[in-house]
Structure 1
Amino acid sequence: MSTFSNPQHVAHYADGPVRQVPGLQALHQMASLLLAEKVPEDGQVLVLGAGGGLELKTFALAHPGWRFLGVDPSAEMLGLARQTLGDLLPRATLHEGYIDTAPDDLHDGATCLLTLHFLDAAQRLQTLRQLARRLKPGAPLVVAHHSFPQVEPDKTRWLQRYAAFAESNGVNREQAQSAIGAIASRLPLISAEEDEAILRQAGFEGVELFYAGFTFKGWVGHVAGL
């Protein structure tokens, strides 16, 4: 069973990222502000990896006129997103599946947070190209995920910093060490330089780093063609 289909994991999902991702709430706030540079007051925003609904709720509260398409392959995580959104849910359409099966409508902006690190380089490129196809020319895309050096000793040093941050937020040492072991062995991680190159290859220009929190990096770019 996938972690994101495990009811026990889903029930406690909101507790994890805030203890493991430095400045998670600020990351969502920054993503909202970066989108708002280009997205109009009545804009349409695509959120890839929308399960849980945390960023959807942040965006919806900050921008009452925005409407959303949330895409996620996990029915359980989308169920959690519905609970998280509550009264805000009518402004969001939630699509169970991957980006290539999502509606082809053009959106004014998009985000993909804490998701791309589950995909290898080829899958990331394909996913980003599918996102670009669903964005208007000049529309912003905000991404953030694990992205750090993959050569030793740098890789281990950054993973230990990730573990130390989790421990400082109440995660016990055994769990934190288990987590970095899983990250190192199971995730198809790439360096920040490779991440930026893939974004450009997928059709995004003006790619800028806006967030760095230990093993996590975040970029904003815009669809070419405006």
Structure 2
Amino acid sequence: MAGILLAEHVPDQGRVLILGAGGGLELQAFSRAHPGWHFDGVDPSPTMIAQARRLLGSDTANITFHQGYIDDAPEGPFDGAACLLTLHFLRHDERLRTLRAVHRRLSPGAPFIAAHHSFPAGGDGEPDLWLRRNAAWLVAGGMDEAQALAGIETMKERLPVLSPAEDERLLIEAGFHDVQLFYAALTFKGWVARA
């Protein structure tokens, strides 16, 4: 889905920023579908970058890795960017700062794809409901129930999750426009926006 959304505006020889590129799965999918694109993959973990290099093997001619965070990324300009399953680790202020730094690196009108955990985070028990639903989905997919339920507490302790409305407000505050929700599955949400 992210590759399709990027391809609506990224030219055939475009340059794409991937924030949180460790592991390499999205780089693999994007580079196979769009061999003319050049990617700058940024990740703070040398272990995850090494994993991405192993996964991609010899398919790294159009990929440059940068160890670090958004401030360690090249200035661009980029024709598009994606940040998948990463922003939910950042607290509100750091998330906004990161989104602004991504926006600054994009060409005007370039697409940005973000997907991460986002669900109502109020104190009325609704977060627990969404987390239980997510755990039930994992169990239905074959995960051990005890492990899935333990994941609820881990997510509550470690992820500064924002509501979908808060996530959209941050994208707009960071300078993005045409913010559209393209994916929603229990606790996961995905947006496409334009710089």
Q: TM-score, normalised by structure 2?
A: 0.98
Counterpart in the other structure of 2:95: 124
| 1:6-45 alignment runs, 5 A limit | 30-45=1-16
Measured in 2, the distance between the counterparts of 1:118 and 1:180 equals: 15
Q: Quick check: 1:186 aligned with 2:169? A: no
Counterpart in the other structure of 1:88: 59
Counterpart in the other structure of 2:184: 212
Counterpart in the other structure of 1:159: 131
Q: Quick check: 1:201 aligned with 2:187? A: no
Deviation, 1:90, is: 1.3
Q: Quick check: 1:46 aligned with 2:17? A: yes
Measured in 1, the distance between the counterparts of 2:158 and 2:72 equals: 25
Poorly superposed stretches of 4+, deviation over 4 Å: none
Q: Quick check: 1:175 aligned with 2:125? A: no
| 1:105-145 Cα deviation digits (max 9, x unpaired) | 21100000000000011000000011011110100000000
How many residues are paired up? Answer: 194
| 1:164-202 Cα deviation digits (max 9, x unpaired) | 111112211111111111101221111000000000000
| 1:42-84 Cα deviation digits (max 9, x unpaired) | 0000000000000000000101111100000000000011111
Measured in 2, the distance between the counterparts of 1:130 and 1:143 equals: 14
Measured in 2, the distance between the counterparts of 1:75 and 1:168 equals: 33
Query: Of Structure 1 and Structure 2, which has the larger fraction of its residues in helix?
Result: 1
Structure 1 residue matching 2:59: 3-state secondary structure: helix
Q: Quick check: 1:139 aligned with 2:110? A: yes
Amino acid at match of 2:24: G
Gaps of 5+ in 1: 1-29
Deviation, 1:153, is: 2.5
Measured in 1, the distance between the counterparts of 2:192 and 2:55 equals: 26
Measured in 2, the distance between the counterparts of 1:84 and 1:213 equals: 27
Measured in 1, the distance between the counterparts of 2:69 and 2:127 equals: 30
2:50 is aligned, of 59, 71, 79, to: 79
Measured in 2, the distance between the counterparts of 1:154 and 1:103 equals: 40
Gaps of 5+ in 2: none
Amino acid at match of 2:176: F
Structure 2 residue matching 1:217: 3-state secondary structure: strand
Measured in 2, the distance between the counterparts of 1:135 and 1:154 equals: 36
Deviation, 1:95, is: 0.3
Measured in 1, the distance between the counterparts of 2:126 and 2:169 equals: 21
Deviation, 1:87, is: 2.2
Measured in 2, the distance between the counterparts of 1:94 and 1:165 equals: 34
